[in-house]
Structure 1
Amino acid sequence: MLHLVALFEQHGPLLVFLNVLVEQLGVPVPAVPTLMVAGALSVEGRLVWQQILLLAVLGSGMANFAWYLAGKRFGMQILGLMCRISLSPDACVRRTENVFARWGVTALLVARFVPGLSAVASPLSGAMGFSAGRFVLFDTLGTTLWAGAAMLAGRVLHRQVDGVIHALASIGSIALAVLAGLLALYVLWRWIERQRLLGFVREHRIDVAELRQRMEAGEAPVIVDVRSAVSRGSDPRRIPGALEAELEEVRQLLADVSPEREIVFYCNCPNEASAANAARILQRAGYRHVRPLRGGLDAWMAEGGGLPSG
């Protein structure tokens, strides 16, 4: 087995390029530790930091531009695919929409530093219609800042990083097994968190047909639109009579509603994530009958939209 330091010295640029590329494609293999190690090894000239930084930006740029083109081609539908293949919470889509609404394409300068935002920033840029030139410019700048910061941390902490590398190398295959085990635990934890959210949705959601029946019978629940401000602004469709609220405003908006009243939340995000999170917020506050609308606004409109007859 190759010594870990020798492995980085011989194949460091390739390892950095591949790690950054697959991470930005959506595989949960963090690239920051690799960048830090590369930065530490560059202090003594064992790696060329300019080469590492260039390859990191190139790997990230290739993956991000592919996701940008997918967002441009398929619009918001691509976010559903991303949330199916990624372990990041589906609600990261909403958070990214809010960041982009405030900062526009310049949000790409900091997107790589924020877990969750990085995963959806590129396809969302395409779906929101940012030009390719502006996307490439700000994505490249943001990636350079992100990779450069990780490498700088490695250079500053090179003594500690070298110590960790040599300690891992001294125990050989055991070290790799430990690292693989830690990565597996990380992936398992993210998967469990995701399944908990999906389980809540499956257990509590209400179908459009059932909601229409309640409304026709004069037993309409309180209906709340929890789409982001960006989504409501770009898509004026809504369920008639629905209230509007950001997630952080839900408890305040419904403070005067009885905990025994049925409340239905809807959104247009993958897996009804925002609606599920709003329902969980109220459930923890003691509300007993809170339900996400299955399929969200799209499902409502697919079955005719408007008000039920009768």
Structure 2
Amino acid sequence: MKTLKIIAALLLVSYNGVHSQETSKKKQAKTYAEISVKEDGKWEGRKYIGGTFKNVNSLRVADEHTDHSFDIRYEGPGWESDKVGYRLYLDWRNAIDIFGKVTDTMVLHKVGLDGFESYHHMSPWGMDILKAGKSLGIGAIGRYNGTEVLHFNQVDSTFARVDNSPKSSDVTVRYKGWQTAGDKIDFESKLSISPGQRYTKHTIKASKKIEGICTGIVSFKDIALVKKESTNKKWAYIATYGMQTLNNDKLGMAIFYETNTVSQQVKGPHDHLLIFKPATKPVTFYFLGAWEKEKNGITTETEFYNYLDTKLAELNKAGKI
């Protein structure tokens, strides 16, 4: 009996030690990605009723899922660094939104647990700051037909996966049978964020060469678009800065891209768009948001464009950031 008690005590010490290490690692993490879905509820039409959220590493999106179906916490996967967070609407909209953070700790695991409306208001961690509306938000993908941006209204199936490591947190989304303007392709997006960085690295790959694949930045009235190329002309950015948040404060947004991958920059109905050249090889670009309320953040337009120019110089020199 005494021996069993000793063994039990040793096991408890071992468990507490491992548990303490895991808690410590979570507190020390500088990036995080997740996707959280409901279980033990039921579908009624295209709404998911009841159930509780559970984090998963991967999923096939339910055929019933659409905007505001309530089956996926904050409507899609989220990823964050110690600077900023993002989320992808995993439905026909396929837009990317920004979670502004006022803390440098990981917060996504606490977001949206009490409903869809709460994160649109300021909380101790921050808030959803971008009104995407009918746009792509920041750095998402659509297809421009010369008049409008076609979203992901017709897709046979969608798969999402999240991965976390000390070097980055990643979200990978695979779309099977994306139909637009008479074409049907498979498409993949990989979104990666690194510690200490605001930008997301977005690598896209189409199964077929088609015209009009695009990304962009939501456009707001009276907010100017700024464009700049690197010294070697291989990289460039488009950017906006001003009072363009749901909280009525200052936000900078930018996309860095390789000039030889883009055919044109145009103004769409809701976005400043970059139209990619048709390709089946992977294409990589970077997008970011910089909110004035971010901890030790960028608070002026001059600071923002100096920051962008520094990143552009890195791309000019190394071809990556």
User: TM tier, shorter chain?
Assistant: under 0.3
More helix by share: 1
From the CA coordinates, give the structure whose radius of gyration is larger. Answer: 1
TM-score (norm: length of structure 1):
0.24
TM-score normalised to structure 2 length: 0.23
Q: Which has the higher strand share?
A: 2
